[in-house]
Amino acid sequence: MEQIQLDISRVYDFISAEEIKKLSKETKAAQDTLYQGDGQGNDYLGWLHLPSEITAQQIENIEKAVAGLKEKTEILVVVGIGGSYLGARAVNDALSHNFSHLKKGQKAPHMIFAGQNIGEDYMYELLELLEEQSYSIVVISKSGTTTEPALAFRILKNHLEEKVGKEEARDRIIAVTDSSKGALRQLAEEESYRSYIIPDNVGGRFSVFTPVGLIPLAICGVDIRELVSGALEMSKRCDSSIPFEENPAAVYAATRNALYRSGKKIELLVNYQNKLHYVSEWWKQLYGESEGKEGLGIFPAAVDNSSDLHSMGQYIQEGERILFETVVSVEQTDHHVSVPGDPANLDQLNYLKGKNIDHVNKMAELGTILAHLDGGVPNIRISIPALNAHWLGQLLYFFENACGISGYMLGINPFNQPGVEAYKKNMFALLEKPGFEEETAKIKSRL
């Protein structure tokens, strides 16, 4: 049976299979803490069983609810930051045509983003673009108070209302937020927007299988049934009843912790399919925000190969030996392009005549893995059969589950993000936000 494969055999030159096996008890304890719900942050475990709790009826309701909007929308602007946008972006980018923004005859709405940065030129150019297009907005914020998306939404809401009128704008705006708290909830109620709830017990970066991911993805034509069914299948493979050796999430969590303890402080997520770039961005948030605390945590970084072999490749091969790699490899491409023969052979590529481009890509992958192993970089390899909603659902759930286990192995709370508040406090003080007078005085004395 086809499935996602986890191969850790290429770390054995650095840590033995026995050493990893020795961690199985500790891994199981962390996994039990997760499944029994008696660890730190246990009020944020709603994601763990989410795939089995989503009913076919709920999915149908979402599909029906967004059908009208899908019809009349050319561009869907997803307004959110962090966990409130990266899941949708990861899945949408992975499944979209590489040139969908330029391709004629594209039926599904294009997904674009706002509120994930505060660039003034970005906003100006976005408004310029939206002037010419028929657009709708999904605004997502669990807290309902995050500055970046709130600012973007205020501007976009004004723009849309001016462009199509208040009534039509109301029909084109969907809010995804907390059931009762936060400014966005209040705004959604007062403006009578259609709204969906982010469950209290699911944190932003674990929310891709809630309306946070499902609503924008459904509008843009992603098969959310397959996405959720993939997550469900993987949740069975990762269940705490599955023995260590057969449990990919447990083995991945144990292996990366063993590498970390041996001095490998940075994990590079590596892809050879550019469409996976935002899966890596999503993964970086998941692991960075979950594990980086109390002076601990593997630093999650990512490269897109083979482009980055010509920029980061030198460091990975010969720089400080604090790295390990996790390669996400896609077995089957959707399309085939083979190398044509050329009688003149001036580019000396005739030795590749008749080979598919993906064959060259796979040899680049294998050659790089072996070179990096020689250079002291251990390798974990995750292979997914193909890039579709089902396997992406499996992959994302696998990473979530392993993150919960891995965080508990580190001894930290994987489900909070206290460090994110520090910059906000300074920004509010500098912006002289009411209520921050004391901080404003303090920060001014530092300038």
Please pick, among 148, 233, 267, 289, the residue that the annotation labels catalytic.
289
CA–CA separation, 121 and 101 (whole Å): 20
Q: Which candidate, 189, 193, 227, places its Cα nearest to that of 210?
A: 227
Least distance from C-beta 4 to ligand PA5, angstroms?
A: 24
Contact call for residue 297 and ligand PA5 (CB under 6 A): no
Q: Which stretch binds ligand PA5 (CB under 6 A): 26-34, 137-145, 273-281, 316-324?
A: 137-145
Of the residues 70, 181, 424, 433, only one is catalytic, namely 424
Question: Judged by CB under 6 A, which of 31, 33, 146, 235 binds ligand PA5?
Answer: 146
Q: 424 an active-site residue?
A: yes
Burial class (CB in 10 A: 0-12, 13-18, 19+), 120: exposed
Taking the least distance from each CB to ligand PA5, the nearer of 206 and 260 is 206
Per CB under 6 A, 289 contacts ligand PA5: yes
The smaller minimum CB distance to ligand PA5, of residues 229 and 417, is found at 417
Nearer to ligand PA5, 388 or 417 (CB): 417
Catalytic residue among 310, 320, 335, 336: 310
Q: What kind and span of H or E run contains 1?
A: none
* Closest CB 153 distance from ligand PA5, rounded Å: 11
151-190 footprint of ligand PA5 as x/- string (CB under 6 A): ----------------------------------------
d(CA 95, CA 89): 10
Determine, following the binding rule CB under 6 A, whether residue 300 of this chain makes contact with ligand PA5. Answer: no
DSSP 8-51: -GGGTTTS-HHHHHHTHHHHHHHHHHHHHT-STTGGG-TTTTHH
Q: Which residue, 88 or 312, is less far from ligand PA5 as judged by CB?
A: 88
If the CB atoms of residues 146 and 229 are measured against ligand PA5, the closer one turns out to be: 146
111, two tokens:
């997904």
Q: What share of the chain is helix, strand, coil (3-state, %, to 5)?
A: 55, 15, 35
Q: What is the dihedral of CA 405, 410, 413, 415, to 10 degrees?
A: -40
Selected range binding ligand PA5 among 136-144, 185-193, 306-314, 327-335, rule: CB under 6 A: 136-144
Residue number with CB closer to ligand PA5 (109 or 149): 149
- Choices 95-103, 143-151, 164-172, 293-301; region in contact with ligand PA5 by CB under 6 A: 143-151
With respect to ligand PA5, which residue has the nearer C-beta, 279 or 380? 279
Nearest to 212 by CA among 84, 378, 384, 70: 84
Tell me, yes or no, if 22 is annotated catalytic.
no
Report the nearest approach of ligand PA5 to the CB of residue 83 (Å).
Answer: 3
Number of residues assigned to the chain:
447
* Site string (410-429) toward ligand PA5, x via CB under 6 A: -------x------------
Binding to ligand PA5 by residue 89, rule CB under 6 A? no
Angle at 135 between CA 130 and CA 136, to 5 degrees: 130
For residues 206-237, b (16+ Cβ closer than 10 Å) or e, as one string? Answer: bbbbbbbbbbbbbbbbbbbbebbbbbbbbbeb
Rounded Cα–Cα distance for residues 158 and 241 (Å): 52
Q: How far is the CB of 259 from ligand PA5 (least distance, A)?
A: 25
CB 290 within 8 A of CB 407: yes
Is omega for the bond preceding 306 within 30 degrees of 0, making it cis? yes
Range list of β-strands (E), 283-439: 299-304, 323-332, 379-386
CA 186 to chain centre: 28
Choose the binding region for ligand PA5 from 8-16, 34-42, 139-147, 383-391 (rule: CB under 6 A).
Answer: 139-147
174, β-bridge pairs: 138, 194
Q: Does 41 bind ligand PA5 (CB under 6 A)?
A: no
Give the single-character DSSP code of 294. Answer: T
| C-beta of 18 vs 421, nearer to ligand PA5 | 421
| Contacting ligand PA5 within 66-85 (CB under 6 A) | 81-84
Q: What character string, x for contact with ligand PA5 (CB under 6 A) and - otherwise, covers 184-223?
A: -------------------xxx------------------
CB of 295 to ligand PA5, least distance (A): 21
Please say which residue, 324 or 408, places its beta carbon nearer to ligand PA5: 408
Give the CB-side neighbour count of residue 9, counting CA atoms within 13 A.
3
Total number of residues that touch ligand PA5 (CB under 6 A): 14
Strands 173-177 and 323-332: unpaired
User: At a CB cut-off of 8 Å and minimum separation 6, what does 296 contact?
Assistant: 410, 411, 412
Binding site for ligand PA5 (CB under 6 A): 81-84, 141-143, 146, 149, 203-205, 289, 417
Q: Which are the catalytic amino acids? A: 289, 310, 424
